Structure 1
Amino acid sequence: MNIIGQVIDSMIRYYSGDVHQINHFLKVHGFAKTIGEMESIDKDIQELLEIAAVMHDIGIKNSEKKYNSSAGSYQQIEGPPEARRLLEDMEYDPELIERVCWLIAHHHTYDNIEGMDYQILVEADFLVNAYENNMSKDQMRNIYKKIFKTSVGKEIFREVYNLE
């Protein structure tokens, strides 16, 4: 089994029985994989992006337990330690683990997006959240203007949500 398959398997077990969370991270992964491949990003960055996309919301479970909330600010606190534990158990490269944890710790922070992995992760998450959160067309247009930077992410967003 490749690294992405291992991470997906681990996250399905982590969120066992939580169909919403499992479906969410699989959809975010699908968009992140597609955008990254179509933007022709470096293969190592692509792998890191896909791992982060699968694990990006790993902090929700502990956020709900500790704070009775799944707010993004709590996810960014609670997610990295859980991701680190899972990835270290799988004996992954420490540099990969650091970047994945950093992305998880910042995936709800949009004011200083640096790096294609970060940009694509945020775009992929918004592609899914726009539907799951039943955003209005005005909210979607605003997000599109403020967040989306990759040509592929923009095209997918316009097509999926039928935006002009």
Structure 2
Amino acid sequence: MEMHTLTPIKNALEQKVTEYYINNAPAIEQILHTQSVAAYTRLIAYGEGCDQHQTDLIEIAAWLHDIGCPNARKLYGNSLPAHQESEGKKLVEEWLKNETGLTAEEKVWLADVVGTHHQYPSAVKLHFSPLFEADLIVNLVEGYYKMDKAQHLFDTMMITPTGKKLYAALFLTKE
């Protein structure tokens, strides 16, 4: 069975997320983070053999994954994972409520992914490892984790062969 294309939805959400960050966040940092996570997510998903529909869906999740940060900062004074996940899930549900190009199951999945995107057990259970790994990679590059923790993060949080290969090349190879 051929799946419908998600490209128009993905493109529209990329634009909406970018505009949202321009209006509600330290825009440049949030936009660059989201673009990087989306690019690594796509790379890992393709490497893991995801079809176009799966890849587009998980890339949509990557574009949406941190949209709870601005509301979390306003409500709690920070964007700690639990706060951004909770606020992000609510926003995804609101944004996608009338989206006709996604199935009801895809909308629920996207909200659940955004609502648990820092949680390793959820990455495994909900099958969003490419996004989880991409966010981990970008967070390490951006200094949210110390580089001396790179091996431990690799050993305990990297799931896919593609993600592991990319992570090792970026952080674990010795000159």
Question: Which residue does the alignment assign to 2:10?
Answer: 4
Give the TM-score, by structure 1 length: 0.91
Is the 8 Å Cα contact of residues 12 and 22 (structure 1) preserved in structure 2?
Answer: yes
Partners of 1:122 and 1:30 in 2: how far apart?
13
Change (3 A) 1:54 1:112: closer
Q: Secondary structure at the match of 1:114?
A: helix
Of 155, 158, 161, the match for 1:148: 158
Question: Which residue does the alignment assign to 2:140?
Answer: 130
Question: Which residue does the alignment assign to 1:72?
Answer: 81
Q: Secondary structure at the match of 1:69?
A: coil
Deviations 1:82-132 (A, max 9, x none): 112222344332221110100011111124532574211110001100011
The amino acid of 1:127's aligned partner reads I
Is the 8 Å Cα contact of residues 45 and 117 (structure 1) preserved in structure 2?
Answer: no
Partners of 2:162 and 2:130 in 1: how far apart?
10
Is the 8 Å Cα contact of residues 80 and 101 (structure 1) preserved in structure 2?
Answer: yes
**Per-residue deviation at 1:163?**
3.4
2:51 is aligned with 1:42: yes
Structure 1 residue runs of 4+, over 6 Å off? none
Q: How many residues align?
A: 164
CA root-mean-square deviation: 1.8
2:50 is aligned with 1:54: no
Of residues 132-141 and 150-159 in structure 1, the stretch that sits farther from structure 2 once superposed is 132-141
Question: Which residue does the alignment assign to 1:161?
Answer: 171
**Per-residue deviation at 1:60?**
0.4
Q: Which segments of 5 or more consecutive residues in structure 2 lack a partner in the other structure?
A: 1-6
Partners of 1:83 and 1:11 in 2: how far apart?
11
